[in-house]
Structure 1
Amino acid sequence: MTSEDTGRQPRSGTTATRAVVLAVAVVAVLLLGAAVGLLIKLPGSDSAGTPGKDSVDIGFAQDMAVHHLQGITMANTARDKSTNPAIRQLAFDIESTQLEQVGRMKGWLTLWGAPEQSTDGTHMKWMTSSSHDHSSSSDAGRAGLMPGMATSEELAKLRSLSGTDLDVYFLQLMLRHHQGGAPMAEYAARHAGVPVVRTLADNMLKSQSSEGQYMKQLITERGAAPLP
């Protein structure tokens, strides 16, 4: 029996259509977030009140956008490959939320006339008056990957897995990712100069803490443990 006999589209056509729909959705969400970032009336948004290039506001927006984009990549992999409804829903929620937040932060950077990423390739230098623990995180950011981020080898492994192995590894990587980004959000929530930046950072901290607890539960239910 052919696909014409069953009335179904060939699998390749379905996959291609799904990819196009996903790409359009990603662009739409990013544009929406950027529009929100640009349209919000920022206190002191004139040239005299624009955050300085070394400010917490700009550094946080640059680094957290990069951090989020990897989280979106991992969530997209899990949403497409997992067959478990709870994992797929969690991945969708993370992807949708972080896409909007990335768009918002990039909108602010455009408004401030700042580059989307650190020009010297380093991260977290804006966490200058941090505690010892935060300083350690900052050192890790300068050395390469920001805390919690997966290596290219780990991302490749995630893409290679399926079934429960995929679900567990996704949860482990994403939990570590959330935990690694928490010090940045906490620091920005306390020290950013622009109120809406502090609010966004605080909201990230709260939502990701809640998601982290849920991921720990899902990991335990699958007889596994968080990554060391």
Structure 2
Amino acid sequence: MAVQDDKREQQMRDRFNLKVTEDRKRSGIDAFLNLEGKVVNFELKSTTSGSVSTVRDFGPAHIEKWKDLHWIIAVYDQRGEKILRCHYASPVDMAPWIEGKRHYVLPDIVLGHDVATKVTADTVIKIFEGREGPYTKEDAKWIMKNQWGAEDYKAQMDTLGGYSLERMTEMLKLRCAYIMGRGSTLNNPHIEKSYVAKLPLLDEEEPAISLREHVRNYFNSASATEQATM
């Protein structure tokens, strides 16, 4: 993360009295709050232009991660130092934007999945120029590369110190899906300025209280909708 982005995120956490997870690098959650027994996770974004930069490679993992997140978008002055206003977006508010991006990458996602299922033992044998196994850890690393860590390679061994043809076929399918998945991403899709402008504004005098009111209203609305459809 850029130093400037990190500084802005800390400003936003301080402004709204939010916490950060101890394992943030693994969780990927920018901030959270505890509200009436619920843990509410947030995505924090900032902009000086109005439109919001998101992630380098947007794909299925982000669709899954973002569907339940709440968002705070801070609009800064042109120097990126002073917060001019902040918008709140509930999962419902962000759903149309996320769905639009999901729809855009869907053909590539389906293609990648279907191609991966076509990998067979014959594919493995062809890659290893006729060798049918067993395969060594070095062979596995040649296929999976840095996609796996040491524990993964150890856990997947199904022969004495190595891997069978069947296991190597499973691994090659995973590798194929991974490679195809990287190709089914969008490079840094932006949340449009017009989309941000329609999101609710958080009160500047009592930002932390205002945020909690918006989140509480979201949960109350979701609860009412759920009860009405029962």
Mark yes or no: TM-score above 0.5.
Answer: no
The TM-score, its normalising length taken from structure 2, stands at 0.25
Of structures 1 and 2, the larger Rg is shown by 2
Could you state the TM-score of these two structures normalised by the residue count of structure 1?
0.25
Between Structure 1 and Structure 2, the one with more strand by share is: 2
Structure richer in helix, relative to its length? 1
